Structure 1
C-alpha cells in the first residue's frame, strides 16, 4: 500500500500540474522512494499504434519509479483537447467520479512510498452535468497539493481554488509556485501575498524554465515537510 498519496490540482489549465507532478516524482526518486503517478482522465490524446496516448500521462509514466502499463496510469484517454465532459460526450462515453475512483484504487494497491493523482484543468472542471472532477479526491480522501501558475490574475485563482478545496472537506497539504509568465510584474510581491494567505507550506518555487523537465523542476522542490509527518 502507498504510504503518502496526494492529489495534484491546478489554479487553471496550463498552471503546470504535470511539470510539478513529474518534478515531485523525480524528487522522490532522488530520496530513494518508490514513486507512482496517475492521470485518471486526460483530454488531448494522440492516435498511436498502441491506442490513444496523452503526453502528460506519458511523462508521469516515465518519471515514476514504479512502472505501470499506460492504461493503468491513464485509464480514460480522450482525443480532443477540450473539457473532459465534452470530449467524453463526443466519444459517446460517460464519465463518473465513482468509476474513476475505482480505477485509481486498483493502481493505488501497488506498493509505493509516494503516489500522485493528477487532475485535469482546474478544480471545478466538470465530469458531467452533475459531477465535477473535484469529487474524485473526495472519494479517494486525498490531501491536495495546489499548483499556482504565477501570472497576472493568479491571486484570485489561487485563493478561490484553496477555498473550494477546504470547503469540499479536503486538506490543502501544500502548494507550489510555478512561474509560467517570465515577465510577470511584481512577482515577489505576489508570492509574498500568497505566503501570507495560505496556511499550507510552500513546497517549492519553480522559476520559468527555458527547457521544462522533471529534473529541472525537482531541483526547486522539497516535500520533506509533508513526508516526515
Structure 2
C-alpha cells in the first residue's frame, strides 16, 4: 500500500494542479522514492484509437515511476471540457464519491512510497446533487496539498478553500504558489500575505516556466515537510 498519499487540490480550475503534481512526483523520484498517481475524473478528453485520453492524466502516467495502465490512472474519462457532473450527465453517466474513492483505493494498494491523487477544478466541484469531489479525500482521509494559482483574487480563493478543507476535517499538508500569470501585480506582497495567514508549510514557489517539464518544476519543490510529518 502507498506509504504517503496526498490529494492535490486547486484554488480554481487552470491553476496548475497537473504541473505541480508532476513536479511533486519527479521530486520524489529524484529522492529514490517509488511514485504512483491517479486522476480519477478527467473532463476534456480526446478521442484516440485507444479510447478517450486526457493530457493531464497522460502527464501523470508518464511522471510516476510505477507504470500503470491509462485506465488505472484515469478511470473516469469525459470528453467535453466542462464541469464533470455536467459532462457525465450528457454522457448518461452518474458520478458517485464512494465509487471514485474505491477506484482510488485500488491504486493506493500499489507498493509506492509516494502517491498523488489529482482533483478536478476547485474544492467544491459537484459530482451530483448531493456530493462534491471533496467527498473523495474525506472518504479516503487523505491530507491535502493546495495549488495556489498566483493571480488577482488568489488570497480570498486560498483562504476560502483552506477554510473548507479544514471544515471537512482534513489536514492541509502544504501548499504551492504557482505563478499562473507572469505579470501579476504585487506578486511578492500577495505571496507574503498568504505566508503570514497560512499555517501549513509552503512547499514551493514555482515561477512562470516556458519549458514546462516535471524536471523543471521539481527544482522548486521541497518535499521535506511532507516526508517528515507522516
Which residue of 2 is the match for residue 124 of structure 1? 124
3-state DSSP of counterpart to 1:133: coil
Which residue of 2 is the match for residue 206 of structure 1? 206
Which residue of 1 is the match for residue 84 of structure 2? 84
What whole-Å deviation, never above 9, does each CA across 1:55-109 have from its counterpart, x for those lacking one? 0000000000011000000000000000000000000000000000111111110
- Structure 2 residue ranges without an equivalent (≥5): none
1:223 CA displacement: 1.1
3-state DSSP of counterpart to 1:100: helix
Q: Could you tell which deviates more after superposition, 133-142 or 210-219?
A: 210-219
Which residue of 1 is the match for residue 51 of structure 2? 51
Counterpart CA distance in 2 for 1:98 and 1:203 is: 30
1:48 CA displacement: 0.5
Alignment map for 1:190-205 (pairs within 5 Å): 190-205=190-205
Which residue of 2 is the match for residue 100 of structure 1? 100
Counterpart CA distance in 2 for 1:51 and 1:40 is: 16
Counterpart CA distance in 2 for 1:208 and 1:219 is: 13
Which residue of 2 is the match for residue 135 of structure 1? 135
What whole-Å deviation, never above 9, does each CA across 1:144-199 have from its counterpart, x for those lacking one? 00000000110010000000000000001100000010110110010000000100
3-state DSSP of counterpart to 1:122: coil
| Aligned-pair Cα RMSD in Å | 0.5
Counterpart CA distance in 2 for 1:53 and 1:217 is: 23
Which residue of 2 is the match for residue 9 of structure 1? 9
Which residue of 1 is the match for residue 74 of structure 2? 74
Q: TM-score, normalised by structure 1?
A: 0.99
Which residue of 1 is the match for residue 23 of structure 2? 23
Q: How many residue pairs get matched? A: 229
What whole-Å deviation, never above 9, does each CA across 1:12-45 have from its counterpart, x for those lacking one? 0001000000000000000000001100000000
Counterpart CA distance in 2 for 1:90 and 1:225 is: 42
Runs of 4+ in 1 over 2 A off after TM superposition: none
1:212 CA displacement: 1.6
